[in-house]
């Protein structure tokens, strides 16, 4: 861990690893919504089906907020 109110390389690497881990649920929500559209009865392909729905957009915003909180937590805490 870095000193308080600083971020070192180890903190940044850990932050990026956490970002990758927490990206998986957002991707699962997005792909789940796209797959559910494709599996509907009488589906006709439309490129607009790849636009994220409201649930996916909320998950994306929560991911962004989570990344901000994690960065601030690492910045404020220290040894």
pTM of the entire predicted model: 0.83
74 burial level (CB within 10 Å; 0-12, 13-18, 19+): buried
Q: Which residues of 29-63 are buried (b: 16+ CB within 10 A; e: fewer)?
A: bbeebbeeeeeeeeeeeeeeeeeeeeebeebeeeb
Residue 15's pLDDT band (cuts 50, 70, 90): very high
pLDDT, average across residues 30-47: 94
DSSP string across 4-62: TT---HHHHHHHHHHHHHHHHHHHHHHHHHHHHHHTSTT----GGGGS--HHHHHHHHH
Q: What is the residue-averaged pLDDT of the chain?
A: 93
Looking at residue 1, its pLDDT comes to: 67
Q: Does residue 79 register a pLDDT over 70?
A: no
């Amino acid at each position: 861990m870095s000193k308080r109110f600083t971020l070192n390389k180890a903190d940044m690497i850990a932050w990026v690893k956490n970002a990758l881990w927490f990206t998986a649920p957002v991707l699962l929500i997005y792909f789940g919504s796209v797959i559910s559209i494709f599996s509907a009865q009488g589906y006709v392909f439309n490129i607009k089906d790849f636009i994220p729905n409201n649930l996916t957009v909320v998950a994306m915003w929560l991911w962004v907020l989570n990344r901000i909180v994690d960065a601030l937590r690492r910045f404020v805490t220290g040894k």
